[in-house]
Amino acid sequence: MDIVNVTGPLPPQGHNPEGLWLVGCGNMAGAMVEGWRSAATDLSQAVAIRPSGTPVPGVRTVRTVAKAGPPPGIALLGFKPQKLPEVAPELAAAIGGETIVLSMLAGVEVETLRQRLPAAAAIVRVMPNTPVAIRRGVIAVFGEALDQAQRTRVGSLLAPLGYVAWCGSEAELGTIGHVAGSGPAYVARFIAALAAAGEGKGLDPGLALTIARETVLGTAWLAAAGGEPMAEIARRVTSPDGTTQAGLVVLDGELPGLIERVVAAAGRRSAELAADARAIDSSPAHP
């Protein structure tokens, strides 16, 4: 996939097709900025819109949409989903008919976004995970009917951040989000638990954490480099009736069902957020 950098001077008026608005810039959008900067992406036309005014490194930062400049080529929504009713009216009045809206709002569906932002050229949902900060992220993408130019524009913006997974439905996007988007938290918990087990057996806490972290990193790297099935990687470590086999008996008895319940819980919460967003849009007070 080709990579297109954001280049050129900021025009004083009209539409800015190469511009990027970061509407809200919390942890995830901030991680994306880190990844783009690491990839030497030109962010000279990017604008972060943050009511707090807290600067975003390498990006022009303003407090309000009104101060952001001409309508951008892409507007990335990175605020809390509950803020959509508050943010949408000002944003809807400011974006242009050629603006692609990229939404990271968890659970807020394309149809809901289209109702809120009717003038947008396209509505696209994206679900990245935090390793985008080091350009090793997974970014799930789903959009309403995009033409090839729009698809290329979105793909080119996201490609420097990691693996871009185009989805055929919002359900597929949600599932990838529950696995990859939430996955770093689950992996972090596993590393902490593995370290705690080592510490419980007498290892220095710092040493236990380093060993656990490097073991997970090395195994993931080995799996990515070799492309072997996970079962084969496990088999090569496991001697019949050995120590690893004894541990796997416990792990295999509990882990698959546990992870299934974890992902299902994330899915239920996503459905609740989507229902909340639809309820707000269908309420009598909504224009």
Number of domains in the chain: 2
| Whether 232 and 207 share a structural domain | yes
Question: CATH number, domain at 78?
Answer: 3.40.50.720
Tell me if 1 is assigned to some domain: no
**Residue that terminates a domain, selected from 180, 195, 219:** 180
Tell me if 257 is assigned to some domain: yes
pLDDT of 15: 60
| Whether 251 and 132 share a structural domain | no
| Whether 44 and 73 share a structural domain | yes
Mean pLDDT for all residues in the chain: 90
pLDDT > 80? residue 6: no
Buried b (16+ CB within 10 A) or exposed e, 135-149: eebbbbbbbeebeee
| Whether 37 and 168 share a structural domain | yes
**Residue that terminates a domain, selected from 180, 202, 221:** 180
| Residue 97 CA neighbour count, 13 Å, CB half | 0
pLDDT tens for residues 59-82?
Answer: 999 999 999 999 999 999 999 998
Q: Among residues 36, 82, 38, which one has the least CA distance to residue 48?
A: 36
| Whether 187 and 161 share a structural domain | no
Tell me if 217 is assigned to some domain: yes
Q: Among residues 278, 272, 276, which one has the least CA distance to residue 114?
A: 278
Distance CA 35, CA 45 (A): 16
**Residue that terminates a domain, selected from 120, 147, 180:** 180
Model confidence, pTM: 0.84
Show the domain range for 222: 183-275
